[in-house]
């Protein structure tokens, strides 16, 4: 079974951005954080390979969690946008599935890197995240090829 892995150096950030019994966070699940981070990174074209993988909380997340939350389309669209090849979605080839999962992981890792820099020194991650989204909305007009994060603001 395939799993989405999280870089060890970003594991604490993923936990901090997620709701738990002790605190509120801007996201309900680790999968939500990963999808948002990957979306942010594809917009900024910031793909970062994973080196060390988190084995503790949060450990690798089953791909089924992403599918059950409806994120399969986003993961596949990121792979298509990166490779410019629709064949990456071949439903019968396990090697191809591993490839688009790797692409997603690397964009999520890049997005977490961006978020880590943006969240540095923040007390309230929800408020800082809102400021990041607002700043994205009011940037210069985007070219057609860029991924648009403003839909998260509506």
Span 87-133, pLDDT tens digits: 777 666 677 778 888 999 999 999 999 999 888 887 777 778 888 77
pLDDT band, very low/low/confident/very high, at 141 (cuts 50, 70, 90): low
Q: How much of the chain, in percent, has pLDDT values that exceed 70?
A: 86
Question: Residue 154 carries which DSSP code?
Answer: -
Rounded distance, CA 37 to CA 85, Å? 22
**Out of 8-12, 64-68, 116-120, 144-148, least confident range:** 144-148
Cα–Cα distance measured from residue 77 to residue 89, given in angstroms and rounded to the nearest whole number? 9
Instruction: Give the confidence band of 148 by pLDDT, cuts at 50, 70, 90.
Output: low
What is the helix, strand, coil percentage profile of the chain, to 5? Answer: 60, 5, 35
Give the integer Cα–Cα distance in Å for 102 and 99.
5
Helix/strand/coil for 18: strand
Confidence of residue 149 (pLDDT cuts 50, 70, 90): low
- Residue 23 zone, left/alpha/beta (φ > 0; ψ -120 to 50; rest): beta
Rounded Cα gap, residues 96 and 103, in angstroms: 11
User: 83: pLDDT confidence band, cut at 50, 70 and 90?
Assistant: confident
Percent of the chain with pLDDT strictly greater than 90: 33
Q: Which of 17, 11, 47, 29 is nearest to 119 (CA)?
A: 17
The most confident of the ranges 8-12, 98-102, 129-133, 139-143 is 8-12
């Amino acid at each position: 079974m395939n799993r989405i892995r999280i870089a060890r150096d970003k594991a604490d950030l993923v936990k901090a951005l997620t709701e738990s019994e002790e605190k509120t966070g801007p996201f309900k699940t680790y999968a939500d954080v990963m999808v948002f981070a990957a979306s942010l990174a594809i917009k900024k074209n910031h793909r970062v390979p994973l080196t060390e993988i988190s084995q503790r909380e949060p450990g690798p997340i089953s791909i089924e969690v992403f599918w059950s939350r409806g994120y399969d389309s986003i993961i596949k669209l990121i792979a298509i946008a990166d490779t410019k090849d629709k064949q990456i979605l071949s439903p019968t080839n396990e090697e191809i599935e591993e490839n688009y999962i790797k692409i997603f992981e690397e964009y999520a890792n890049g997005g977490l890197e961006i978020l880590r820099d943006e969240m540095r020194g923040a007390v309230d991650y929800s408020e800082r995240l809102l400021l990041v989204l607002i700043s994205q909305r009011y940037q210069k007009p985007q070219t057609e090829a860029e991924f648009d994060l403003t839909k998260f603001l509506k």
